[in-house]
Amino acid sequence: MSNKIEGFNFDQRHGKQRVRVARVWRSENGRHSIVEWNVGISLFTDSVVAYTRDDNSDLVATDTMKNTVYAKAKECVEELSVEDFAIRLAKHFTSLYQQVTAAIVKIVEKPWERVSIDGQPHEHGFKLGSEKHTTEVILKKSGALKVTSGIEGLALLKTTKSGFEGFIRDKYTALPDTRERILATDLTASWTYPYESIYSIPQKPLYFTERYLSVKKVLADTFYGPPKGGVYSPSVQSTLYHMATNVLKGFPDIATVQLKMPNIHFLPVNLSNKDNTIVKFEDDVYLPTDEPHGSIEATLSRFWSKM
């Protein structure tokens, strides 16, 4: 928080980062569930004496924050979403410590997925997936709340129904127009909810987890289009916009959605020597490359949402 010290504005926070914790739930019927979270905590206080007077009496030790993560995970006797766990941590720090005016809790969930053996879900077997579920919770002592959820590393690719043409051309332009190319991206998405206090959140078990899975499905379905024939993409920009629009249209409880979609290039390969072409590209052989890549991102919000 901002303080005036000796004629200067001084902003400070402290916390603990990269606290890794796993929690297993074991039901009576033998079915297990597991989550693995990487937790980051930042606390805001009005006290600056630790910085200016060598006085630590108002500081919550970062080691205490780390231990609190494990203790609160132990208290979660029933399976819960990563958002709900972040809210519990933020509420703990803002309510227990008088000097803490606000808390930011960021968590990345590792994608452990239940395996199936002979078509049957395994009771206690899991494999590591790809994309990660993320959240950021900001909670002030006043009770003001902001919850953001997201996805990191959602890899999407389609081998056709994509093009790029009609763009600006100048003396540095070498890219040809095309209506046939591979479209690939490594999507990062985040969305905010309109809930302004803990008490306004729907009291439904795993509400945030269900919403995360539903949003991920809408994003992927919009990118690919119908299984028969797909949908044409005239640009990454156009596809991004339709993905974001469908999220807001499909979920009234989401106020803002931000998408980052790097255009990961698959370059057509032609091999030739000084006499003639040895291998001619026919929409079949490509050189995959992620450096450099296009960078496309945008945010779509409802008129009433608070940014």
Catalytic status, residue 242: no
Active-site residue, from 16, 66, 91, 92: 16
Report the C-alpha gap between 63 and 76 in whole angstroms: 21
Report the C-alpha gap between 5 and 1 in whole angstroms: 12
Catalytic status, residue 122: no
In this structure, are residues 270 and 281 in contact, taking their beta carbons and an 8 Å threshold?
A: yes
Active-site residue, from 14, 62, 158, 159: 62
Report the C-alpha gap between 18 and 33 in whole angstroms: 22
Catalytic status, residue 62: yes
Which of 119, 140, 175 is CA-nearest to residue 292?
175
Active-site residue, from 14, 265, 293, 299: 265
Q: How many CB atoms lie within 10 A of CB 298?
A: 14
Which of 161, 264, 252 is CA-nearest to residue 202?
252
| DSSP for residue 207 | H
Which of 98, 105, 16, 13 is CA-nearest to residue 62?
16
In this structure, are residues 203 and 183 in contact, taking their beta carbons and an 8 Å threshold?
A: no
Task: Give the residue numbers marked as catalytic.
Answer: 16, 62, 265
